[in-house]
């Protein structure tokens, strides 16, 4: 059911694992804002954790548990 989230986490972990130490400070434009590779990785992990909490809250609500 949540296999897509598991796959996305695995893909992010694979990408992060492949980044060389000296490449973390490299930057690029995201939405017109300059961002480092490290910041993008942190944001990705944060968003994944955020979505997992959202999924848990919805499942708890559907199962009748208090939020």
pLDDT in tens, 24-63: 999 999 999 999 999 999 998 888 888 888 888 888 899 8
Q: Which domain holds residue 13?
A: 3-17+26-62
Tell whether 38 is covered by a domain: yes
Tell whether 43 is covered by a domain: yes
67 pLDDT tier (thresholds 50, 70, 90): low
Cα separations in angstroms, 43 against 5, 16, 49, 62 = 16, 12, 10, 29
14 pLDDT tier (thresholds 50, 70, 90): very high
Domain count for the chain, please give it. Answer: 1
Residue 20 carries which DSSP code? -
pLDDT value, residue 59 = 85
Tell whether 11 is covered by a domain: yes
Over range 14-32, report the average pLDDT. Answer: 95
Tell whether 67 is covered by a domain: no
Question: CA 37, CA 24: separation in Å to the nearest integer?
Answer: 5
């Amino acid at each position: 059911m949540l296999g897509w989230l598991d796959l996305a986490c695995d893909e992010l972990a694979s990408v992060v694992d492949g980044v060389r130490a000296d490449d973390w400070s490299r930057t690029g434009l995201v939405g017109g804002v300059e961002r480092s590779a490290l910041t993008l990785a942190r944001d990705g992990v944060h968003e994944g954790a955020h979505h997992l909490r959202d999924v848990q809250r919805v499942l708890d609500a559907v199962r009748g548990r208090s939020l």
